[in-house]
Structures are given as C-alpha cells and as structure tokens.
Amino acid sequence: MTIAKNFRSTDHYKAALKEIMGQVRSGKDPHRIDFKTGDKYWAAALHEARRRWDKREHG
C-alpha cells in the first residue's frame, strides 16, 4: 500500500490526472482517451479517471 500511496503523490501522476480530468470535465469520456505507450503514470491516472467516471455514472 505504501508504494501505491507514494506513487499517487508524485508530480508526474498528479499532472497526468489533472490533464485527464480536465478533458473529462469538458465532456470527454475517459474510456475514449488513449493510453500513452510506456507511461505508467498516465496509465494509472487514466485508470483512476475511469474508475471515478464509472462510479459517478453507475453509482
């Protein structure tokens, strides 16, 4: 758990999540945003955005 917590506190992860959530707020479905090859921070942030989206849409 510690590793995941530290991972989420990195600037790279926060920047990726901020960029993705900005796109989501402007009406884009996160399931239609593509993964960036080899970017584990982008992948994790995209996964989190999709999780939040699904939770909001489906309770």
pLDDT of residue 4: 66
pLDDT of residue 25: 93
pLDDT of residue 36: 85
User: pLDDT tens track of the chain, all 59 residues?
Assistant: 456 678 888 899 999 999 999 999 999 999 999 888 888 999 999 999 999 999 988 77
Neighbours of 37 (CB within 10 A): 7
Distance from C-alpha of 7 to C-alpha of 37, rounded to nearest angstrom = 18
Terminal CA-CA length for the chain: 25
User: How many residues are given for the chain?
Assistant: 59
pLDDT of residue 55: 92
